Structure 1
Amino acid sequence: MAGYDDRDGHIWVDGKLVPWRDANVHILTHALHYASSVFEGERAYNGKIFKSREHSERLKRSANMIDFEIPYSIDQIEAAKEEVLKTSGLSDAYVRAIAWRGAGEDMGVASARNPVRMAIAAWEWGAYYGDAKMKGAKLDISKWKRPSPETIPSHAKAAGLYMICTMSKHAAEAKGCSDAMMFDYRGYVAEATGANIFFVKDGEVHTPDPDCFLNGITRQTVIGMLKDRGIKVHERHIMPEELEGFEQCWLTGTAAEVTPVGQIGDYNFEVGALTRDIAEAYEKLVRE
């Protein structure tokens, strides 16, 4: 597969489709220097983006949280995504929408005079964790912690918030792991680098309270599925020492979908019946 800068096709940029290789920005783009960008990762199944409008709404909210306004309405963003998906010729695809402060009159921390730009691309992308969807992912435990909401807009899907996620995942991959689990600034279990986390004990599900990290759209979908099945879901603070007592574990995210976890650090988990049931039910739901 060619690099992401060297492919055929088109990317929607600022209201029009441009050839993939020409979808570039200036080196003095503000977002490149100061991380002033927000994005969404979405999946299309059978030609339809799952929870598309919810993603578009979150993109707009994320921009507001980091102090800029995307110059397109929800309806315009939805139409642009449909255009990109149709042009791509893909039925199943990963869709990336991104908005950022571009190059303009300002080139310092402040950038109020710079234009806000937006782009949407789509490409084919299989299982995020490869064969982990069958045997269970192996996770490292990151040395980096999700920061306090007093220090960052923790509920924005903003590029800058992923810096420690990238570092954590690189460290995990160097150890032969698929990903890393992160604690929050208080020491509670938080999430993986790009996915929310769930645990099972005695037939009930436990998942961290997303009070300082992203409350994922897939996370919310899966909680709804569990409740529809009459399964009790505890959204709460989870201490590290509780990991030893959990029987099953899985990750959720648009890219990850529902991925079983077999190991976190020294803790092992069964890829059990509930995990498989939810993974299979989610796969069916997104294709309805």
Structure 2
Amino acid sequence: MTTVPFDQLDGFIWMNGQFIKWAEAKVHVLTHSLHYGGAVFEGERAYGGEIFKLTEHSQRLHESARILGYTIPYSVAEIDDACRKLLKLQGFQDAYVRPIAWRGSEQTSVGAQNNRIHCAIAIWQWPSYFDPELKMKGLRLDWAEYRRPDPSTAPSKSKASGLYMICTMSKHLAEAKGYADALMLDWRGQVAEATGANVFFVKDGKLHTPIADCFLDGITRRTVMDLARRRGIEVVERAILPEELAGFEECFLTGSAAEVTPVSEVGQYRFAVGAISRLLVQDYADAVQPVKTVAAA
């Protein structure tokens, strides 16, 4: 990942229907979503000049905003088009794509019915979310202090900025202790997800993953489940208690940023970077590459 501060990168950002210079993409300090956590966003990846499952991400961005009570003033098709044009303008083949929408600064109080809804897209090069040298050795995860909340207390089906506060805190605490990330429980004490990725376990040739009832049912999560089923691997979605980790053989994370990343350790539990994890790492890498049409000779 780049070491240059993000506000100092070169290129362009699409913002409210226009392509503007990167350094000019600014918001006011009294922007409502800065104060009250009401932004919604997506994380996407481009491979070989094409954005993987772009429309699914744009649809989820709209749905996240709807859950938070506002409407993005650009259609799914318009956001798709802007993403594609910006990727070409940036000149990237492989890159990370970040659409975001937020409430503006017309009102700065809890109520914001009259605030303008803004939308922007930024694209930058981001080779790997986790250290590539550690990735296939398996990440070490700590247990997170904070838990995913009851859906009756937070809009857990929305990819909303405010829901990531406890993720940042948990990841920072884990990294301070030498771990790569943290595994979060939910409010019931069941295994939920990592701070920015879904989690899978392997036992007796089957995949086990928590039911996505209080966290995002990730697009990469669903993709990996489909890939596993094509291989004849049974996928079991169920409640998983922390102590069950002692009986699992493999563990891996999934997400647009994380892709498919094996895990070797969660707290006191150890896992092998085994055959199924390696198989799905490769299957996902193959799936995200755009199909190239070869002209007949």
TM-score by length of 2: 0.96
Rounded to whole Å, the distance in 2 between the matches of 1:75 and 1:145 is 36
Give the superposed CA RMSD: 0.6
Matches within 5 A, 1:183-194: 183-194=185-196
1:175-225 deviation line (CA, Å, top 9, x unaligned): 111100000000000000000000001111100000110000000000011
Matches within 5 A, 1:40-79: 40-79=42-81
Rounded to whole Å, the distance in 2 between the matches of 1:39 and 1:263 is 30
Matched-pair contact (CA < 8 Å) for 1:132–1:261: no
Corresponding residue number in structure 1 for 2:293: none
Rounded to whole Å, the distance in 1 between the matches of 2:144 and 2:20 is 39
Q: Which of structure 1's runs of 4+ aligned residues deviate more than 3 A?
A: none
1:230-268 deviation line (CA, Å, top 9, x unaligned): 111110000111001100000000000000000000111
Rounded to whole Å, the distance in 1 between the matches of 2:134 and 2:204 is 24
Rounded to whole Å, the distance in 2 between the matches of 1:132 and 1:96 is 25
Rounded to whole Å, the distance in 1 between the matches of 2:269 and 2:115 is 48
Give the alignment partner of residue 267 of structure 1, picking from 261, 266, 269.
269
Matches within 5 A, 1:115-134: 115-130=116-131, 131-134=133-136
State the 1:94 CA deviation: 0.1
State the 1:107 CA deviation: 1.2
Matches within 5 A, 1:15-94: 15-94=17-96
Equivalent residue letter for 1:268: R
State the 1:133 CA deviation: 2.0
Corresponding residue number in structure 1 for 2:295: none
Equivalent residue letter for 2:73: P
Give the alignment partner of residue 250 of structure 1, picking from 249, 252, 256.
252
Corresponding residue number in structure 2 for 1:107: 108
State the 1:132 CA deviation: 2.8
Secondary structure of 2:144's aligned partner: strand
- 1:239 corresponds to 2:280: no
Secondary structure of 1:263's aligned partner: strand
Secondary structure of 1:280's aligned partner: helix
Paired residues in the alignment total: 287
Secondary structure of 1:187's aligned partner: coil
Secondary structure of 2:167's aligned partner: helix
TM-score by length of 1: 0.99
Corresponding residue number in structure 2 for 1:286: 288
Structure 1 stretches lacking a partner, 5+ long: none
Give the alignment partner of residue 206 of structure 1, picking from 202, 205, 208.
208
Equivalent residue letter for 2:68: I
